Structure formats: C-alpha cells, structure tokens
Amino acid sequence: MDATGRPQSLLLLGGTSEIGLAVADAWAERSPGLRVVLAARPGERRDAAAARLEGRGCRVEVHDFDALDDGAHVRVVEKARAGGDVDVAVVAYGVLGDPELAWQDPEEAGRVARTNYTAPVLSGVALGAMVRAQGHGVVVALSSVAGERPRRSNFVYGSSKAGMDAFYTGLGEALRPIGGRVLVVRPGFVRSRMTAGLDAAPLAVGPEEVARAVVDGVAAGREQVWVPRPLRPVMSTLRHLPRPVFRRLPL
C-alpha cells in the first residue's frame, strides 16, 4: 500500500471475473501504474481482460490458474509474490450451477461445492501463507447473501457460499494479529454473465457497484460489506424468521 492506503499491487484469482475486473478498474483510477496479476485459465477472455487493464495503464502479469487444480493455488500465489509483495488479493471465482440438478446429481453437486468452497479454502490457505511471509496484505473474498440462509431454490449454492464465508471470516481473525486483513463481501443479485437469463431480484446491482464497495471497504479497514447496504437488515430479518414462515416466502 502507498502512504494514502491505496494498493500498488493486486492479485485476481479468477482473473476474468466481471466483479474482479471491475475492482481492478476502480483501483486503476486511483493508483496509476497499478500492478495487476491475472490468474485465470488461458483463453480469449483472459487475453481481453489483460488488454483492458493495460489500456487503463496497469502493469499486467498473467498466470495460468484452474481453481479445481488443488496444487494451483500455492503455485500461482508464489508466482505472484515473485514479482513483489501483493497488497490486495481478490478471490473472485465461483459458479452458480444448476440449482435443481445440483441436489440430485453428485457430479453437479461436487462441481459447485469444489468451486465455491473447497477451492476458495485452498486459495485462502495459500494467501494466508503469503500474508504471514509479507507481514501485511488484504484478502478480499467475494461471498454472497445466499450463504446467510440458504433457500430451497438454490440451497447447494447457498451452502457452499455459507462455508466459504465462514472460512474467510475465520481467516480474518487468524491474520489480524500479524498485520493481515480479510474483507468478506456479501453481494445480493449481481447482473453478470453468471446470472444472465435469470429474473433480477430486488436490490440487484452491477459489478461496478460491488467494486466500489470493495474499494471503499478496503480503504476503511472493514471486515464485512453488504452490497447494497440495505441487504444487511433485510437478511438479518430473514435469518431469524421461523422456518414455517420462511418457507412460505417467494424465495
């Protein structure tokens, strides 16, 4: 971080994520010459993401990364650190999956669980080691309000996000005494590729709104942010509703 608290280096795990790229865009405006490490599967989307950020004046590094390769998490974090300390790392990958297939098909259930929970845990372990070695660093975990109280309509996804959220909340406590921080970000419905074709839920936002919340949250030293903010009291209410009432809601 520079003297004003702005990051000089950013690692995006899931480097083609629309939210992750929006975060990089937002910081590029505030930190000229920002070093951005894009970790993603090779392909046209990754190439386009790198070109987009280079066009904004970023110094871009690209590394191959498949979240479902257990060994890839440590490897890519070590490669990122080889170019200098990482100020902020964003865990930006995830899948929505097919909600009805996921609770009936072991393969789909496993894909959602591994991508949204197991893989982020492995990323978090690797990033935790990085923060310990550096003595500083912020980890941003893109969670979801779906993890607050999983709904019948997408409970496999919701359960995977609940686990991820709990892990990164705990990681923040573990890293805090040694100079690290974790920001858990809980967006509601985000208009993106992942939700294309779905009816937008109330209080829907775009990737840019999530990005602004991330940038502001890191600057303010927050540990959790809700996007948009009114979701916090809404979800608090839903979380405490009796189950017979909750199941009757059109969720």
197 φ/ψ angles, rounded to the nearest 5 degrees: 90, -10
**Positive or negative: CA dihedral 12, 18, 22, 23:** negative
- Token match 């097919």: residue? 98
**pLDDT band, very low/low/confident/very high, at 241 (cuts 50, 70, 90):** low
Q: Give the model confidence (pLDDT) of 84-135 as tens digits.
A: 999 999 999 999 989 999 999 999 999 999 999 999 999 999 999 999 999 9
Predicted confidence (pLDDT) per residue in 188-208, tens digit: 767 666 665 665 666 677 888
The per-residue DSSP string of 68-135 comes to TSTTHHHHHHHHHHHTS--SEEEE-------HHHHTT-HHHHHHHHIIIIIHHHHHHHHHHHHHHHHT
pTM metric for this prediction: 0.89
**Residues taking part in catalysis:** 157
- The CATH homologous superfamily for domain 9-248 is NAD(P)-binding Rossmann-like Domain (3.40.50.720)
User: Are the CB atoms for 117 and 206 separated by under 8 Å?
Assistant: no
Domain ranges within the chain, ordered by starting residue: 9-248
Q: With bands split at pLDDT 50, 70 and 90, how would you rate the model's confidence at 151?
A: confident
Q: Match 């419905």 to its residue by tokens.
A: 189
